[in-house]
């Protein structure tokens, strides 16, 4: 899944901001930049204005909100992550459809209707992402009036996601594939040496199998796959950390 567009831009602008070229007092501007560079986002948010023009400090504040929201999500502080993402989007409303991270937080907050709507908006700006279709499915199943069969029929069609094992994951959630096909797509080469790419494929495969079995109501099988994604094949990217968040939220430990 793709990052909100503003984030990549604002990180550069924030890092390059000059303390002497701002509407903040010079000593405050210096403190903000030191805090930003040290990833002390609490201080950045405390010292930058909530509402203002599209200045460098607004962009620094927005970046701090986004990044603190992500860290709060990774710490399984779900309500707090949503609050930060909401504040980020309040500063930059045009980023709302890009913000799939808030959709993931909505899922773990059990705000399924909001999550479903977030992923529908994300579909308008990221049309070929199996993960977006799957998270929309997961929210649709649990939203008021939702059920498995309706979610399968309404699974967002994706034709051009070439990542391993996304085609097989999409087929599985659509009722056309199998668990075995997902695992086969992510299989390790016969040399038995696990490369970084292979570990990544296995992390994704087991994360989405875990989520699939959660949607099916099979907690034991879900835990088995989440345990593998979070602990056996851990990755440090957003979805790898999402597997670890899932384990925290569902009380799944590294040892069975």
* Per-residue three-class SS string for 185-206: HCCCCCCCCCCHHHHHHHHHHH
Give the pLDDT score at 209.
Answer: 98
CA distance 231 to 233: 6
Cβ proximity of 48 and 57 under 8 Å: yes
Cβ proximity of 148 and 141 under 8 Å: yes
Give the pLDDT score at 191.
Answer: 80
Interacting residues of 71 by C-beta distance below 8 A, sequence separation 6+? 41
Q: What are the tens digits of pLDDT across the range 128-176? A: 999 999 999 999 999 999 999 999 999 999 999 999 999 999 999 999 9
Give the pLDDT score at 203.
Answer: 98
CA distance 169 to 183: 10
Among 120, 172, 177, CA closest to 143: 120
Q: pTM of whole model > 0.85?
A: yes
Q: What are the tens digits of pLDDT across the range 216-231? A: 999 999 999 999 999 9
Alpha helices in the chain (DSSP H): 5-16, 26-37, 41-47, 56-74, 78-91, 100-108, 112-123, 130-142, 148-153, 166-173, 179-185, 196-216, 219-227, 238-250
Give the pLDDT score at 139.
Answer: 98
Percent of the chain with pLDDT over 90: 84
Q: What are the tens digits of pLDDT across the range 200-214? A: 999 999 999 999 999
- Residue 195 sits at φ, ψ, to 5 deg, of -80, 170
Given a cut of 50, whether residue 55 has pLDDT beyond it is yes
Q: How confident is the model at residue 22 (pLDDT cuts 50, 70, 90)?
A: low
Cβ proximity of 188 and 177 under 8 Å: no
Give the pLDDT score at 3.
Answer: 60
Of 41-55, 77-91, 92-106, 144-158, which gets the smallest average pLDDT?
41-55
Give the pLDDT score at 256.
Answer: 83
Mean pLDDT of 2-31: 60
Both tokens of 133, joined, read 């279709």
Of 52 and 77, more confident: 77
Both tokens of 58, joined, read 């607004």
Mean pLDDT of 15-25: 55
Burial class (CB in 10 A: 0-12, 13-18, 19+), 251: exposed
Given a cut of 80, whether residue 72 has pLDDT beyond it is yes
Residue with tokens 């279709």: 133
Domain boundaries, the chain: 1-96, 99-155, 162-256
């Amino acid at each position: 899944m793709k990052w909100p567009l503003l984030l990549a831009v604002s990180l550069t602008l924030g890092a390059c901001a000059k303390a002497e070229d701002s509407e903040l007092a010079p000593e405050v501007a210096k403190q903000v930049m030191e805090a930003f560079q040290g990833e002390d986002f609490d201080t950045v948010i405390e010292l930058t204005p909530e509402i203002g023009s599209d200045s460098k400090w607004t962009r620094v504040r927005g970046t701090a909100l986004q990044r603190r929201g992500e860290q709060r999500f990774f710490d399984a502080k779900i309500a707090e992550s949503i609050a930060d993402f909401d504040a980020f989007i309040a500063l930059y409303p045009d980023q709302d459809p890009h913000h799939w991270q808030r959709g993931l937080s909505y899922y773990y907050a059990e705000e399924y209707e909001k999550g479903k709507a977030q992923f529908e908006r994300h579909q308008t700006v990221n049309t070929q992402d199996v993960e977006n279709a799957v998270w929309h499915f997961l929210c649709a199943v649990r939203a008021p009036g939702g059920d498995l069969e309706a979610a399968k029929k309404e699974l967002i069609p994706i034709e051009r996601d070439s990542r391993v094992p996304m085609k097989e994951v999409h087929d599985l959630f659509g009722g056309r594939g199998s668990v075995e096909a997902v695992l086969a797509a992510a299989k390790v080469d016969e040399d038995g040496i696990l490369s970084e790419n292979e570990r990544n494929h296995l992390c994704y495969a087991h994360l989405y199998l875990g989520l699939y079995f959660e949607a099916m109501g099979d907690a034991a099988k879900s835990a088995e796959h989440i345990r593998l994604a979070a602990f056996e094949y851990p990755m440090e990217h957003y979805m790898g950390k999402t597997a670890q968040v899932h384990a925290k939220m569902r009380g799944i430990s590294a040892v069975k």
